[in-house]
Every structure is written in structure tokens, then in C-alpha cells.
Amino acid sequence: MVGIEKENCFVFGVFMFIWSFALISGITMVWLLAWAIKRGEFRDLRQGARMIFDEDEPIGVVTDRFPGAPR
């Protein structure tokens, strides 16, 4: 029976660990988000989405088709 109580203690410890871990990581996440917004990480995001296009392959031009197919 002593063994089982020990195990319960252990499980309690595990849960405490998980809860505290969740709390700490949650707070860190929120803080990180606030920090990232403040630093301007989210500004100008659409520019990132456009970086795969250029003057030669601009937005609006289809760049792939079956071989031999007319343009």
C-alpha cells in the first residue's frame, strides 16, 4: 500500500509539473507575442507574401503548364 501512496505522490508531482509548465509557457507565449508586435514583426507582412514574385514572373502570370501546350 505504501508503494501506491508513493505513486500517487508521484502523479501529483507530475501534474504540478505540467500545470506549472503550462502556466510558465503560456505567460512566456503572451509576453513573446507582445514583444514581437512591439518590435514590428507583424508589420509589412503582406510584403513577405509577395517576395516570391518578381518583374519576370509577376503576380497574375501563370508559370506552369503541360509540355507542348500552347501559351
Least Å from the CB of residue 68 to another protein: 6
Q: Does 2 bind another protein (CB under 8 A)?
A: no
Q: What cell does 33 get?
A: 507575442
- Phi first, then psi: give them for residue 66, nearest 5 degrees: -60, 145
Which of 12, 17, 19, 31 is the binder for another protein (CB under 8 A)?
17
Residues between 22 and 51 with contacts to another protein, criterion CB under 8 A:
25, 42, 44-51
3-state secondary structure of 29: helix
- CA angle (52 as vertex; 38, 67 as ends), nearest 5: 160
Contact footprint for another protein (CB under 8 A): 3-4, 6-7, 10-11, 14-15, 17-18, 21, 25, 42, 44-69, 71
